Amino acid sequence: MDLKVLLNNKWIALLLLVIAFSLIYNPYTKFPYTFCIIIIVILFFTYLQEGNLKNLNFRNIGLLEIKRIMICYLILEFSMDFIFQPLVSTIFSEPADYSSFKTIEGNSQKYFKWLFNMWISAAIGEELLFRGFAFLQLRKLCKDKNILTVLLSAVMFSLPHLYQGISGLAMTFLFGLAFGLIYLKFQNIWINIIVHGLIDTVFLTLSYYGLTEFYSGFYFIL
């Protein structure tokens, strides 16, 4: 059997997705190197399957895409911060746990290091894994069931954020749904990467200045 045909079998596609996802929990690398490896694996698997990388949707960014990025970012930032986060925290009677990010407060060196690592791991790495690669593989399994693909990718996205508690897990799932719908709508991974990066950049910057009260104590890093 042709290797390309074999790798595009729905069960093999699911296996490739499981392998890429499981690398998050490998004991041999740490943040941000874990996602550097995941990015390489995703590019390698995709090239073997497709013969190119175009199905990861690295499309051009023009003026229209910049407008879409800013609209998506503003809608997500304000709706999640002022509506969904307080609501979720109230429902579960606990805020998301972001105490691990207190260490960057007033520490310029650590702030810029975390900012760089975040763009590599969270913005680029997570969007490639949970949107670009996950959508590519889940569509082989779920066919045209786009909503199911969005839901499954959101579940996958939320699981590595268990350290943020139940409230944080729920909020990450909601962000996963939003990112999934953005990707489904525009089919451009750069839009997802930049929106994701902007959201986390704002949080890290406010953490550096000790202004996380802006989020009413209910925010967390994606």
Residue 92 sits at φ, ψ, to 5 deg, of -95, 0
7 vs 55, higher pLDDT? 55
Residue 220 located in a structural domain = no
Residue 183 located in a structural domain = yes
- Expressed in angstroms, the distance from the first to the final Cα of the chain is 41
Residue 218 sits at φ, ψ, to 5 deg, of -125, 30
CA distance 154 to 141: 16
Given pLDDT bands bounded at 50, 70 and 90, which one contains residue 4? confident
Residue 163 located in a structural domain = yes
Number of independent structural domains in the chain: 1
pLDDT at residue 218, as a whole number: 45
Residue 22 located in a structural domain = yes
Residue 221 located in a structural domain = no
pLDDT at residue 72, as a whole number: 98
Q: List the structure tokens of 101.
A: 């990010």
Residue 40 located in a structural domain = yes
Q: Are 176 and 130 in contact (CB under 8 A)?
A: yes
Neighbours of 28 (CB within 10 A): 8
Residue 38 located in a structural domain = yes
Given pLDDT bands bounded at 50, 70 and 90, which one contains residue 213? low
pLDDT at residue 214, as a whole number: 57
Look at phi and psi of residue 51 and say left if phi exceeds 0, alpha if psi is from -120 to 50, else beta: left
pLDDT at residue 164, as a whole number: 74
Above pLDDT 90, what percent of the chain?
A: 67
- Maximum Cα–Cα distance across the chain: 58
Residue 222 located in a structural domain = no
Full residue range of the structural domain in which residue 177 is found: 3-215
- Predicted confidence (pLDDT) at residue 203 exceeds the cutoff of 80: yes
